[in-house]
Amino acid sequence: MEELSRALASSFSVSQDLNSTAAPHPRLSQYKSKFSSLEQSERRQRLLELQKSKRLDYVNHARRLAEDDWTGMESEEEDKKDDEEMDIDTVKKLPKRYANQGSTSAYTKSGYCVNRFPSLLPGGNRQNSTAKDYTILDCIYSEVNQTYYVLDVMCWRGHPFYDCQTDFRFYWMHSKLPEEEGLKEKTKLNPFKFVGLKNFPCTPESLCDVLSMDFPFEVDGLLFYHKQTHYSPGSTPLVGWLRPYMVSDVLGVAVPAGPLTTKPEYAGHQLQQIMEHKKSQKEKLTHKASESGHYELEHLSTPKLKSSPHSPDQPGSLMEN
């Protein structure tokens, strides 16, 4: 009991400050301790090759149907039954924003419906709903501003965009959202605002310009998309995330001083926690994995050591995509 009291006295505290959703979790260093024997660049390349092969298989399958060639189709359909069912289950849990049949539903990433209301999205209310109009968007919800910030588009007016590359999806999103009048205003038919987030090229010059900008909302982080990737649910090395103050340490890019690049007080402690946890894991493990695969989060929040072959003088090697 005395040991428990001492432990609580040293690690437990009560304050009058309001909870912040941007504060790091005390066990962040233990989050997703996964191991991979492949470099991040190799995993990216494998996913891109798999993406190309799936598209080629789909085209060949469609060509076979068009040419009325049914040889071997029955055996192939039996082999693919399980995969097709899993794909359907995954798609059902995917949408964050789903507008169809005269109403709009908001889902978490686990598939739980948290809200249902009308909106001015195509198919989002009874006045603009038809049998073929439905829209699926990937959004971030701000409860303070009562706003849904649109990250990506999966379907628009019944047209799917899962197999489209990132550049085209972003172009479509920024072209079609302004065409729907009233999405940025709160009305009876649109109780929540819908705002498309801007995207910029991933270059050192562009990063410096972005980090020196003023935004009308609180910036939580930066999302990095591979230009050739399709929309895929779950974790993928083709999409990364960094807090603004991590850019200089992780990517080795000189950034201008400003509110976004100022490191918070917990930044040093957070990094120390991650490094200590990694060190303890290395001592316990009997096998040695590659340096870049010890910790899934290290690609996003842990800067490379000085002995790493990726030095700050070579930012191009870390920003090849």
**pLDDT grade, residue 130 (50/70/90)?**
confident
Task: Judge contact between 192 and 146, C-beta under 8 A.
Answer: yes
**CA atoms of 206 and 200, how far apart (whole Å):** 7
Structure tokens at 300: 């996003």
Residues 183, 191 contacting (CB under 8 angstroms): no
Q: What pLDDT is recorded for position 177?
A: 92
Burial of 188 (0-12, 13-18, 19+ CB in 10 A): exposed
The phi-psi region of residue 139 (left if phi > 0; otherwise alpha if psi is between -120 and 50; otherwise beta) is beta
| pLDDT (tens digit per residue) in 203-218 | 889 889 888 888 888 8
| Residue 123, helix vs strand vs coil | coil
Mean pLDDT of 248-257: 84
Confidence at residue 300, expressed as pLDDT on a 0 to 100 scale: 44
Q: What is the pLDDT of residue 168?
A: 92
* Tens-digit pLDDT profile for residues 34-70: 545 567 777 777 877 877 777 666 666 666 665 555 5
Report the DSSP beta bridge partners of residue 138.
Answer: 152
pLDDT in tens, 76-95: 444 444 433 323 232 333 34
Compute the average pLDDT of residues 121-137: 83
Q: Where are the domains of the chain?
A: 27-40+200-321, 94-198
* More reliable by pLDDT, 24 or 30: 24
Using alpha carbons, select from 237, 229, 121, 238 the residue that is nearest to residue 173. 121
Least confident of 13-17, 25-29, 76-80, 197-201: 76-80
Greatest Cα pair distance in the chain: 79
Residue 171 has pLDDT above 70, yes or no: yes
Q: Are 231 and 169 a contacting pair, CB within 8 Å?
A: yes
Average pLDDT over the chain, rounded to an integer? 73
By the 8 A CB rule, do 44 and 237 touch? yes
Whether the pLDDT of residue 26 is over 80: the answer is no
What is the distance between the alpha carbons of residues 204 and 224, in angstroms, rounded to a whole number?
Answer: 13
For the domain covering 94-198, report its CATH number: 3.30.470.30
Q: Position 60: which residue type? A: N
Comparing 40 with 139, which gets the higher pLDDT? 139
* SS3 label, residue 193: strand
- Helices marked H in 133-224: 166-176, 204-211
Cα angle 96-215-265, degrees, rounded to a multiple of 5: 90
In the prediction, which pLDDT does 318 show? 37
Residue 90, CA distances (Å) to 52, 93, 162, 165 in order: 20, 5, 13, 20
Token code pair at residue 190: 């649109």
pTM above 0.85, yes or no: no
> Which band of pLDDT confidence, cut at 50, 70 and 90, is reported for residue 234?
confident
